[in-house]
Amino acid sequence: MLKKLLVLILTIFLTPLVAGLYGVVHDQLTYTISPEYYTKFKFIQFGMWDLDGEAHLPNPRTCVAVVGFLATWWVGVFIGFVQGLNGLMHADASTMARCVKRSIIITLVVTLFTGLVGLAYGKFYLASIGVDWWLPDGLIDKENFIAVGSMHNFSYLGGLLGLCAGIIDQVMQKRKNSLRKIL
């Protein structure tokens, strides 16, 4: 049980780092699509620019990385805690570690896929019909701003869907391992 507890603790500490790195990559992609989403919204939201209007920072890609990490690491705490606790059902620490790792990968893949669906939905649907979200004044590329906003929203949904898919996968792995022992 001590080894399984160690796997749980490691999961809770490592998953926020994985989630934060995911956020860094995610936000680098979305910055490429809509720099205005950051210069007119996210940098201001995260206190990197406190004046009204558009943020002009000397190295925006570094700031994008910071925003990406700060926006997602905390989701990793929740995912790591839930997936780690769920992993305690497995027979031993080795199986637990393997199944928890797999469930976290599943969570990441589902999150990525859902975010990309959100990007397409925002680009091809929401941008054409309009949104009732707050949009900053003076947007040059409203379509891509909306697409990136949609991707961000869908990515959080994807994290939740991925968490559920990871839990289901762990339960299925437990059943599969139990059946192997019976046969």
Instruction: Give residue 53's pLDDT.
Output: 61
What pTM did the predictor assign?
0.90
Helix axes 2-33, 60-87, angle to 10 degrees: 150
* Res 182 pLDDT > 80: no
Contact criterion met (CB below 8 Å) for 79 and 22:
no
Q: Mind listing the pLDDT tens digit for each residue in 98-150?
A: 999 999 999 999 999 999 999 999 999 999 999 999 999 999 999 999 999 99
Q: Give the list of residues 6+ apart from residue 33 with CB closer than 8 angstroms, or none.
A: 119, 144, 147, 148
pLDDT above 90 as % of the chain: 85
Looking at every residue in the chain, the average pLDDT score rounds to 94
